[in-house]
Amino acid sequence: DAGVIQSPRHEVTEMGQEVTLRCKPISGHDYLFWYRQTMMRGLELLIYFNNNVPIDDSGMPEDRFSAKMPNASFSTLKIQPSEPRDSAVYFCASSPRQGASEAFFGQGTRLTVV
């Protein structure tokens, strides 16, 4: 398996534009997590899914953020409209099951909103 695949790797956009980040989890993994990482706040959990169902979205900062998982092999995180304070590295991770199972991370998407 190629691991968790995120796209794009880098995104530069203007304030007010819509941004869509994509993630392909490892096949067979039941859990998918979206995190945001900044120097100031570290790695924050935004939302996570179990079997394509959102379980906890309490970390989503505002209504401008939304996430979907239409099937087991694909998830999106959308920001509309984007703001400069959304600039961060966004990570997607997947894990195979509940319990002490390792979460595997993608390479991240570095988002810059100017």
Partner 1 sequence: QKEVEQDPGPLSVPEGAIVSLNCTYSNSAFQYFMWYRQYSRKGPELLMYTYSSGNKEDGRFTAQVDKSSKYISLFIRDSQPSDSATYLCAILSSNTGKLIFGQGTTLQVKP
| CB distance 93 to 4 below 8 Å | yes
* Rounded CA separation 16/47 (Å): 22
Token digits of residue 2: 């190629």
Least distance from partner 1 to the Cβ atom of residue 3, Å: 9
Q: Annotate each residue in 1-30 with x if it binds partner 1 (CB under 8 A) or - if it does not, as one string.
A: ---x--------------------------
Work out whether the CA dihedral 64, 93, 5, 109 comes out positive or negative.
positive
Q: Indicate whether 33 belongs to the interface with partner 1 (CB under 8 A).
A: yes
Q: Indicate whether 47 belongs to the interface with partner 1 (CB under 8 A).
A: no
Q: What is the dihedral of CA 61, 114, 112, 76, to 10 degrees?
A: 50
Q: Indicate whether 98 belongs to the interface with partner 1 (CB under 8 A).
A: yes
Q: Indicate whether 53 belongs to the interface with partner 1 (CB under 8 A).
A: no
List of residues contacting partner 1 (CB under 8 A): 4, 31, 33, 35, 41-43, 45, 48, 50, 55-56, 91, 93, 95, 98-100, 102-103, 105-108
